Amino acid sequence: MLSAYPGQHYNWALLGVMPLSVTLGGLVMSWLLAFSVGLVGASVTRAKELAEARHSLADSEQRYRSLFAHHPDAIFAVDPEGRFIEANATCGRVTGIPREEVLQRHFANVVDPDDVTHVAQQFQQVLGGEIARFEVSLRHRDGQQRLLDVIGIPITVNGRVDGVYGIAQDVTASRAQQTRLRTLERSVEASVNGVLIADARAPDLPIIYANRAFSVMTGYSLEEVTGQNCRFLQGPESDPDMVERLRHGIQHQHETHVTLCNYRKDGTPFWNDLYVAPVRDQEGVVTHFVGVQHDISKHKAYEARLAYHATHDDLTRLPNRMHFEETLQAEFAQAQQGEHAISVLFVDLDDFKPINDSLGHAVGDQVLIEVGQRLKAALRQEDTVARLGGDEFVLLISSVSDEKQVIDIVERLLPALARPYCIDGHELYLTASVGIAISGPTTPQPQSLIQQADMAMYKAKQQGRNAYAWFSNDINELASERVILRNDLQEAIEHDCLELHYQPLFDRSGNIVSVEALVRWRHPVKGYISPARFIPLAEATGQIMPISEWVLQRACSDMLSLQQKGLGSLKVAVNLSPLQFHRASFLATLRQTLSSTGLPAEQLTLELTEGILMNNTEAAIGILHALRSMQVSVAIDDFGTGYSSLSYLKHLPISTIKIDRSFINELIHSDDDAAIVQGIISMAHHLGLGVVAEGVENDAQHQRLMTYRCDMFQGFGLAKPMPLAELENIMAAFTASTTSG
């Protein structure tokens, strides 16, 4: 007879019970047998044998009953109509129905309705004399669904099947576990991560399983890796520290997470994010190791790109400032320990901006790329070239033995950079200015070399460009003084410590017809600072904007004050900076100033240099026309010193030109200067322009200019710049003399 466990059989003879033909009424049969034996013989021997037989049968019956009652599986008997006629206690536990209630129930009242037909078919098969095995589902009285594995055995009496014996095992948990295992196996196979299982009990931890993702990732099939240790994936670039960490985790049987450079079957590397965990049995003994690997090569490549872009210039692919400073730090430390020096070269292209402005940034970018290539070509492999930004490059020369070594490099660089650049059909010419700094025992820190080279570069530009200059202490002192001066100037701007002086302009009759407003700065410690020092500084730092706005506001207010005091309606000339003139809000600010001060626009003259007008001439002409419509006069200051263009001059809506003092200074002693001055005056008059001679220092100059029919005169020989109070006194005296006359 089949047992309740798959693949096993019960040997009822070994258990001491009757064959299948013995029914639950075996006790009656034993009595009949005993009775028959008694009829055969009445001897004592026969009686003894009968007693022994009865005892044997009783013992067998008890054994059978014990097996039936205490069997861990449900054992039951069903009559041919399908009603339970016997059931052990396990049946009650499996179904949740007490044994007494199970008896006489029909099987259809116990199993799920959906399984009734199927079970009936199986019972009919057993009633036909066959053994059947099938699964049936029922709902336990606690509401949970149970799945039973049932073996049906025919009950044969006198050669006739008189019912069905059933042995049922509750396989609900095992089937659920099998389902989970199948799901897990399918998940592992479908996973995008590679999964390896190694036998921890075998020598060298051989691989016993690898999923499809592992094969896709590595190129190795399961057959190729089975029996091998997974170290075959390692190679020359595998990090020894990570490998040792993995070995340590396996040796000590704990979970380990490492990132390794592994190699595919074709030899190509990939980054493996590997997680290894031990698998323990019920006693806690490690039987296997499971490795889950994830190919993070794309992530690593992305990280590498991020790291590259963080340390390199996107345009030229050269190292950027951060990378350069890190390299400089390391080289500086080595130089401090050794007997060699390092040198930093600051390279700035000369007149690069016009290329961007005229040909576009695409052409300018190509020039910068080629500049970077030429710089690299001029250096040794161990040297470094980086782009700081714009058209600024910085070079690090390592292991410098003497200054001549650096000079040789620079003298190769300058001609290389000066060669023509052929970009998109354009042949462009560029030069560069180079500042040089070299480390020494007194160099405070590596970054100071960049600052020193930067300052030396500006010195090279002052020397005429396409040149190089060494950093020296006097440059440093000048730079320090410049910083201090800038801070002091900012203090003066914020605390209204600037002054405005006025220098009169005289007509041919000696009358004051206008004044020029000139800003002055009286330092609390150093006294008056020359405008030649602080005006260029203000233009470089942007401080010229608040200064210019203050000058315009104060000059207009002062002229209105003179008029209100009855001292005449003087015109005032105010110098404009390039930043102020080209700012988008310039005209709006000017209108607001005239409106707020109340000065008539006809009393204001704005003085511009030729350079302002030559830069973006079309826009400048548009602004000049707007000024003319406002009735504000415009004068060209320092005429003759810039890039004068007579073709532009005749189209400019201006009223006056001012001849630069450099021509007036040698007027008496230089025929050339005299001819130039005379020509300027004649040309201006033909164009309907007034002429002012600046820098008149003596009477001889004044008289010569009168002869040339100059219109107005200005200079120390006539009147120096003066504060407003002094100007008021002069104007009051002039007004009084005019009244008395």
Which pLDDT score is estimated for 76? 92
Nearest to 51 by CA among 30, 65, 66: 30
Residue 22 is given by DSSP the state -
157 and 199 part of one domain: no
Domain boundary among 258, 274, 301: 301
Q: Please tell me the number of Cα atoms within 13 Å of 282 on its side-chain side.
A: 0
532 and 662 part of one domain: yes
User: Does residue 34 surpass a pLDDT of 60?
Assistant: no
Do the domain assignments include residue 297?
yes
CATH number of the domain where residue 114 is located: 3.30.450.20
How large a percentage of the chain has pLDDT more than 90?
48
94 SS3 class: helix
**End-to-end Cα spacing for the chain:** 155
430 and 347 part of one domain: yes
Sheet containing strand 160-170, strands side by side: 84-87, 74-78, 160-170, 145-157, 132-139
Q: Do the Cβ atoms of 95 and 102 come closer than 8 Å?
A: yes
- CA–CA separation, 340 and 321 (whole Å): 24
Domain boundary among 438, 471, 504: 471
459 and 386 part of one domain: yes
Q: 440 falls in which pLDDT band (50, 70, 90)?
A: confident
Q: Do the Cβ atoms of 400 and 342 come closer than 8 Å?
A: yes
539 SS3 class: helix
Q: Would the pTM of this model clear 0.75, i.e. be above it?
A: no
- CA–CA separation, 166 and 74 (whole Å): 8
Alpha helix ranges (H) inside 226-294: 240-251
Q: Helix axis angle, 544-564 relative to 586-597, nearest 10°?
A: 30
Domain that residue 275 falls in: 191-301
Do the domain assignments include residue 91?
no
Q: Which of 66-80, 84-98, 260-274 has the highest mean pLDDT?
A: 260-274
C-alpha dihedral, 470 to 472 to 476 to 478, nearest 10°: -90
CATH number of the domain where residue 624 is located: 3.20.20.450
125 and 75 part of one domain: yes
Do the domain assignments include residue 483?
no
Do the domain assignments include residue 403?
yes
572 SS3 class: strand
Which pLDDT score is estimated for 641? 66
457 and 497 part of one domain: no
What does the pLDDT look like over 126-153, one tens digit per residue?
999 999 999 999 988 888 888 999 999 9
352 and 288 part of one domain: no
User: Does residue 67 surpass a pLDDT of 80?
Assistant: no
274 and 340 part of one domain: no
How large a percentage of the chain has pLDDT more than 70?
90
Domain boundary among 273, 301, 329: 301
Do the domain assignments include residue 486?
no
419 and 498 part of one domain: no
Work out the average pLDDT over 32-54.
Answer: 57
What's the mean pLDDT when you consider all of the chain? 85
Residue 698 is given by DSSP the state S
Which pLDDT score is estimated for 682? 92
458 and 503 part of one domain: no
Work out the average pLDDT over 444-462.
Answer: 89
Which pLDDT score is estimated for 182? 78
> What are the Cα distances from residue 367, in Å, to 194, 373, 466, 539, 656?
49, 10, 17, 29, 43
Work out the average pLDDT over 583-605.
Answer: 93
What does the pLDDT look like over 674-722, one tens digit per residue?
999 999 999 999 889 999 999 999 999 999 999 999 999 999 999 999 9
Q: 167 falls in which pLDDT band (50, 70, 90)?
A: very high
266 and 330 part of one domain: no
Which pLDDT score is estimated for 325? 93
Which pLDDT score is estimated for 646? 60
Do the domain assignments include residue 588?
yes
Do the domain assignments include residue 6?
no
Q: 616 falls in which pLDDT band (50, 70, 90)?
A: low
410 and 531 part of one domain: no
Which pLDDT score is estimated for 653? 87
Total number of residues shown for the chain: 741
Give the total number of structural domains in the chain.
Answer: 4
Do the domain assignments include residue 19?
no
Which residues are registered as beta bridge partners of 470? 436
Which pLDDT score is estimated for 339? 73
CATH number of the domain where residue 438 is located: 3.30.70.270
- CA–CA separation, 553 and 559 (whole Å): 10
Q: 301 falls in which pLDDT band (50, 70, 90)?
A: confident
Stronger pLDDT, 501 or 183, i.e. the higher one: 501
Task: Return the structure tokens found at 650.
Answer: 């005749």
User: Does residue 35 surpass a pLDDT of 70?
Assistant: no
Q: 741 falls in which pLDDT band (50, 70, 90)?
A: low
Q: 465 falls in which pLDDT band (50, 70, 90)?
A: confident
- CA–CA separation, 206 and 264 (whole Å): 19
